[in-house]
Amino acid sequence: MSLSIPRAAAAAVAILMALAVPTLAGGQTPDQTQPAAPQGIILCTSQPGERILCAADTSAGVALVRSTGKAPCLLGESWGYDKNGIWVSDGCSGAFAAGQLLQQVQQQRQKAPDYVPNGGFLLFTGEKGEMYLRLFSYVRYLNQRNIDETYTDAFGNTKTVQRRQDIQLAKFFAPFSGWFLTPKFRYYLYVWSSNASQGDPAQVVGAGNLSYVFNRFIAVGGGITSLPSTRSTEGQFPYWLTVDARPIADEFFRGSYTNGVWVKGELVERVKYNAMFATNLSILGVSAAQLDNRMDTQSYALTWLPTTGEFGLWGTFGDFDYHEKLATRLALHFTHSLEDKQSQPGTTAIENSQIRLSDGSVIFTPDLFGPGIAVETVDYKMLSLDGGLKYRGLSLEGEFYTRWLGKYTGSNVGGIPDLTDTGYQLQASAMAIKDVLQLYVTGSQVFGDYGKPSEFRVGENFYFMKQRGLRLNAEFIEVHHSPVGYTAYPMPVGASGPIFHVNLEMNF
């Protein structure tokens, strides 16, 4: 007499065996096809920069049973399937169910949330959709007590500089993301609070966007997102060397978060594009009643990843990923916007991207250029070029900026000259202890007709759990006449002198 095993139990045994055995599907070259495991679990593995295709019967669909690598496996982004099989990319590794085993695996799926490293917790998955929850927050100790008490702008006006020393739960960020009805329809919705800006406009924000992914070559979306105006606004936040504090040149030139529509994807292999058409440079703190009706903000980005096809998880700064092969990138960004006075956030607004002169003066300030002179609109154009190298924990990354201001309208603006400002930021880092300790230095400067502000930073990131999710950051800044600043930023406008801050960051 033969001994039979219930099919559901057999499915569970198959899953356990698959997860206990070394991967059956790996690869060395992008788009390499690997043998299928008929009617069972398919283990598909990719390294950073690879896109691997694992042959499988996908006619009944595919389910991710478990992520087995450090990089997140997100449907439609780093894994998916088509008639040829299952594909994984950019370090995603996982155990997948397909063919006859799929239905049985779906019956055995755990109801408890599953954690995707650096992607969050899986709250729900089913035939109708999927939802992940992620949390980001940090506690900051900030000491500005040794910066100068006053600064004098380019027009001879002396202003008092507030010098802070405080401890803040600086930000709280809770995004919900996933898909609904079809994996091609994606949502990304979040609540965001900047507690250092209590009482300011947009101190608490509920925002997000919706998108449809046709394939890896084209995805369209709409809602609130960051203009792809510089590298730091490409979507890798908060994976910077510093904690939520861009170099002053980046902060001075960049666009911010705004409403709009966009299209992005791969142009050709290892070349990515992003084009966004938006309402203004920054929507934070601005109501719809303040906006004009022109929709005349455009931002474009073209990124080339020549050697590995990637530049770390989410395109991060620094080489925590510890590339064994040299990773490189070159990118070009161009942004244009006709900005008007009413569309600008307040001077202390969160993520403030006010158009400022290089001495920190807001260009829309009445009588700034003389009695009776007031700018109402200005034509803004900005070009940035960035590049970087990463290898075995070492990174060198830089960006050059050029901004043009002109075509002013307003009261008595005929005498205001067109302005061209340039600047750069350069960042170098090293994983002094792999997975544990990262050291970095940053230099940044702006060159303009109204000032030449600069800064130098040195800092460290201590990953005490040997993962990205928790880090202790300490940073020393020496700044000269900062042209940017607000309450959520570690320095005020006009700051000169030493600044020190320590941050405990949680991010999953």
Nearest Cα neighbor of 268 from 316, 229, 303 is 303
User: Tell me: the pLDDT tens digits for 70-93?
Assistant: 777 777 778 888 888 898 887 888
- The pLDDT, as a whole number, for residue 200 is 65
Whole-angstrom distance, CA of residue 358 vs CA of residue 405: 12
Q: What is the dihedral of CA 274, 277, 283, 289, to 10 degrees?
A: -170
- Whole-model pTM: value is 0.81
Kindly give, in sequence order, each residue whose CB lies less than 8 Å from that of residue 182, ignoring residues fewer than 6 positions away. Answer: none
Whether residue 36 is predicted with pLDDT greater than 70 in this model: the reply is no
Whether residue 347 is predicted with pLDDT greater than 60 in this model: the reply is no
Peptide bond into 453 cis (omega under 30): no
Whole-angstrom distance, CA of residue 420 vs CA of residue 403: 6
CA angle 77, 83, 86 (to 5 degrees): 45
Q: Which residue has the higher pLDDT, 27 or 397?
A: 397
Whole-angstrom distance, CA of residue 17 vs CA of residue 40: 11
Contact predicate 221/407, CB 8 Å = no
Percent of the chain at pLDDT above 90?
A: 58
User: Tell me: the pLDDT tens digits for 286-305?
Assistant: 777 777 778 889 999 999 99
- The pLDDT, as a whole number, for residue 343 is 63
Percent of the chain at pLDDT above 70?
A: 85
- Beta strand ranges found along 162-256 (DSSP E): 165-180, 182-194, 204-215, 218-226
Whether residue 97 is predicted with pLDDT greater than 90 in this model: the reply is no
Q: What is the mean pLDDT of residues 251-279?
A: 94
Helix (H) or strand (E) holding 10: helix 7-20
Whole-angstrom distance, CA of residue 451 vs CA of residue 446: 8
Instruction: Collapse the DSSP code of 18 into the 3-class scheme (helix H, G, I; strand E, B; otherwise coil) and give the result.
Output: helix
Q: What is the mean pLDDT of residues 413-431?
A: 96
User: What is the side-by-side order of every strand in the sheet holding 51-55?
Assistant: 32-34, 51-55, 85-89, 79-82
Nearest Cα neighbor of 357 from 444, 284, 416, 425 is 416
User: What is the CB neighbour count within 10 angstroms for residue 242?
Assistant: 21
Cα→Cα distances 477→75, 105, 274, 488, 508, Å: 40, 54, 33, 16, 27
User: What one-character DSSP code corresponds to residue 203?
Assistant: S
Contacts for 117-122: CB closer than 8 Å, 24+ residues apart: 117/67, 117/69, 117/70, 117/71, 117/72, 117/467, 117/468, 117/469, 118/70, 118/71, 118/72, 118/313, 118/314, 118/468, 118/469, 118/507, 118/508, 119/72, 119/74, 120/175, 120/177, 120/508, 121/508
- Compute φ and ψ for 114, nearest 5 degrees: -105, 140
Whether residue 39 is predicted with pLDDT greater than 70 in this model: the reply is no
Contact predicate 178/132, CB 8 Å = yes
Mean pLDDT of the chain: 85
User: What is the side-by-side order of every strand in the sheet holding 62-67?
Assistant: 41-45, 93-98, 62-67
Whether residue 8 is predicted with pLDDT greater than 80 in this model: the reply is no
- The pLDDT, as a whole number, for residue 480 is 97
Q: How confident is the model at residue 110 (pLDDT cuts 50, 70, 90)?
A: very low
357, two tokens: 């002169």
Whether residue 349 is predicted with pLDDT greater than 50 in this model: the reply is no
Mean pLDDT lowest among 60-64, 123-127, 175-179, 262-266: 60-64
User: What is the CB neighbour count within 10 angstroms for residue 31?
Assistant: 12
User: Tell me: the pLDDT tens digits for 303-322?
Assistant: 999 998 889 888 899 999 99
User: Tell me: the pLDDT tens digits for 441-471?
Assistant: 999 999 999 999 999 999 999 999 998 889 9
Instruction: Collapse the DSSP code of 417 into the 3-class scheme (helix H, G, I; strand E, B; otherwise coil) and give the result.
Output: coil
Nearest Cα neighbor of 143 from 474, 507, 403, 409 is 474
Whether residue 162 is predicted with pLDDT greater than 60 in this model: the reply is yes
Helix (H) or strand (E) holding 348: none
Instruction: Collapse the DSSP code of 14 into the 3-class scheme (helix H, G, I; strand E, B; otherwise coil) and give the result.
Output: helix
Highest mean pLDDT among 4-13, 38-47, 233-242: 233-242
- The pLDDT, as a whole number, for residue 353 is 52
Whole-angstrom distance, CA of residue 68 vs CA of residue 167: 38
Interaxial angle between packed helices 7-20 and 101-108, expressed in degrees from 0 to 180 and rounded to the nearest 10: 90
Q: What is the mean pLDDT of residues 10-32?
A: 39
* 3-state helix, strand and coil shares in percent for the chain, rounded to the nearest 5: 10, 50, 40
Contact predicate 257/245, CB 8 Å = no
User: Tell me: the pLDDT tens digits for 116-151?
Assistant: 766 788 888 888 998 999 999 999 999 999 999 999
The alpha-helical segments, DSSP class H, found in 35-182 are: 101-108
Q: Which residue has the higher pLDDT, 224 or 4?
A: 224
- Compute φ and ψ for 302, nearest 5 degrees: -130, 120
Q: What is the mean pLDDT of residues 36-64?
A: 77
